[in-house]
Amino acid sequence: MTKTLKLGCVDATAAPADPGGYTAAYHDWRQRPGSFRGEANNAWSKLRPVDGRPVAELQKNLRSLGFNPHTNADGVFGYRTLSAVRLFQEYVRTIGADSSIGKPDGIAGRKTLNTIGQWLATGTVADWTPEDDVHGQIIDGLNRLKQFFMSQSGDASIRALNQHAAESVSRRVEDWRFDPDDIHLIGVRRDDTRIVKRGNRFVRSNDDIFVLLVNGMRLVFRGSTDPSPSMAKRDDAAFLIRGQHEYRFGWHKLSTVGGSSDVKVYRAFKPRALPGPLVVRASGGQLLPSSYAAGATANYSINLHWSGSGTSNWSAGCQVIAGLKYKNFRNQIIEMRDIAAPSYGALGNKTRGAYNVLIDLITVFSRDCRCSSSEPVCYTLLYESDLSHAPGGSGIDFPALVRDLS
C-alpha cells in the first residue's frame, strides 16, 4: 500500500535521538521542541516514525527530478522536504498543466507519489530554463544602480542609510552585493507613498511588486512594502528604508507562541540578527524627504511575511506578499484564486498561495534553510523611479508587472 508522507514523518531507522534538538535548528525562540509547524492554524506535527525508508527515498527522488538539489536525504520530512513536495505539485499543476495533482499542499499522497513514479519511469526532469535572460538583465541593472546610488550622497534616504547602517543589518550602498548565484528578493515601492482616504477607510494596499531572483530565474509577486493603511496613519509609522537588508529563515507571529493566538505562527523571513534593519518614522501616512531629518533606527520586528490573498495588508511596517497570483519563470500569470486563503480562518481548506511558492523556491534552492544559517537572503528595497537610473535599463518594468498581476 502506498504510504501518505507528510510533515513530521521520519523513517524509523533515521529517527533523531534528540527530536527537540533536531527541530530546534529550524525554529526560533519558544517554539515546540520535537514538532514541525504545518500550514493550517495550530497545526503542529510531532516527529512520527514510519516503517522502511520511504522519506529518504522521496527525498532522493525529488532531488533527481530537480526539486531538492541540496537535500542530504536524512529520512526526516521537514520543511525542506515539504517545500520540495509543494514545488513539485505546483510545477505539475502549472508547467505540466495537470490540475489532477490537486492543490500544492506538501502532502505526498497517492496521486503525488504516483506522478513522481511516472516522472522517474519516463526520465522526466524539471526544466527550470527561464523564458528569457531577464534574471541576468536585472542583476546587471542592479549593479549599475549601485554605482548610481554611490554618487547620491545628497539623497536624504541614502544619507540616512549610510550613516546608520553599522547599527543594523542594512548595508551601506558600497556594500550592496548582487551576485547572480545568490538568492535575491527585490521590493519595488510605488513612488507615491500616500495613503488615500476614501470615506472612513484608507485604501492603499498591496500595490507594490516583489521580484525573486533564484536559480537563474525571475518570478514576480504582488504585495506591499509599506505599513497597512490602518498603521500608516499613525504619527510613528515605520517605513523600511530604501536599501539592501540581510534576512534569514524564521517565523512570523512568534510573539503569540504559548498564548491564545498561538494558532497563527508560520514560516517567514526575519532580520538576520539584532537589532534589525533600518526604518524611518513618518506621520500622516506619507514618507517624505523631511521624514529623514531624525535619521533612521533599527527595528527587529520588520519581517517578510504573508498578506492574505491580496485584498488586505496586515503590515505594521513589514514587507508583505499577497497570495492571489504570481508571474512564473516562463512569464505565465498563475492564478491561485481557488487555492489561496484570504485570511487565517480559511487555512484549513486553502493555502497561502503565491506566498508559499516564494518561500518554497527560496527553501529548496538555498544551501542552508536553518534559522541559524550564515547565508543571508538579500532583500533590496527600491522605488519605482529608481529603476530609470540604471543605464541600459533595470530589467524591471514596474507598470507592466503591476498590470499583469492586477
CA distances (Å), 390 to each of 105, 176, 372, 387, in order?
40, 15, 35, 6
Kindly give the confidence (pLDDT) of every residue in the chain, 406 residues in length, as a single tens digit, with 9 standing for 90 and above: 458 999 999 999 999 999 999 999 999 877 889 999 998 888 889 999 999 999 999 999 999 999 999 988 999 999 999 999 999 999 999 999 999 999 999 999 999 999 999 999 999 999 999 989 999 999 999 999 999 999 998 899 999 999 999 999 999 999 999 999 999 999 999 886 555 554 444 445 678 999 999 999 999 999 999 887 777 667 788 999 999 999 999 999 886 555 544 678 899 999 999 999 999 998 776 788 888 988 999 999 999 999 988 777 788 889 999 999 999 999 999 999 999 999 988 998 899 999 999 999 999 999 999 998 888 999 999 999 999 999 999 999 999 999 999 8
248 and 100 both lie in a single domain: no
Residue type, 217: M
pLDDT at 315: 84
Kindly state whether residues 38 and 168 are assigned to the same domain. no
Answer yes or no: do 217 and 343 share one domain: yes
What is the rounded distance in angstroms from the CA atom of residue 202 to the CA atom of residue 229?
5
In a domain, 55, yes or no: yes
296 and 231 assigned to the same domain: yes
Residue 241 domain-assigned (yes or no): yes
Same domain, 30 and 67: yes
Per-residue pLDDT, 364: 97
Measured CA distances, 330 to 52, 172, 223, 231 (Å): 39, 34, 21, 36
Last residue of a domain, one of 122, 145, 177: 122
Q: Look at residue 320 and tell me if it is in a domain.
A: yes
Q: CA–CA separation, 333 vs 316, rounded Å?
A: 29
Number of domains in the chain: 2
Q: What is the pLDDT of residue 154?
A: 87
Decide if 305 is inside a domain: yes
Give the domain-ending residue among 91, 122, 153: 122
Q: Could you tell me if 44 and 151 lie in one domain?
A: no
Range of the domain at 261: 134-404
Give the model confidence (pLDDT) of 283-338 as tens digits: 776 788 888 988 999 999 999 999 988 777 788 889 999 999 999 999 999 999 99
**What are the residues facing 377 on neighbouring strands?**
247
In a domain, 129, yes or no: no
Looking at the structure, do residues 233 and 375 belong to the same domain, yes or no?
yes
Residue 283 has a pLDDT of 76
Residue 128 covered by a domain: no
Using the Cα atoms of residue 27, residue 243, residue 214 and residue 347 in order, give the sign of their dihedral: positive
- Per the domain annotation, does 127 fall within a domain? no
Same domain for 204 and 108? no
Helix (H, G, I), strand (E, B) or coil at 324: strand
> Where does a domain end: 89, 122, 155?
122
Do 146 and 92 belong to one domain? no
What pLDDT, in 10s, does the model give residues 253-268?
A: 886 555 544 678 899 9
- Residue 86 to residue 67: CA distance in whole angstroms: 9
Both 159 and 189 in one domain: the answer is: yes
pTM (two decimals): 0.95
Per the domain annotation, does 4 fall within a domain?
no
Instruction: Check residue 319 and give its pLDDT.
Output: 96
C-alpha cell recorded at residue 93:
499543476
How many CB atoms lie under 10 A from the CB of residue 262? Answer: 16
Co-location of 232 and 111 in the same domain? no
Which whole-number Å values give the CA distances from 98 to 2, 90, 111, 197, 353, in the listed order?
21, 10, 11, 43, 17
Q: At 281, which amino acid appears?
A: R
Do residue 109 and residue 140 come from a single domain?
no
Q: What is the CATH number of the domain that holds 19?
A: 1.10.101.10
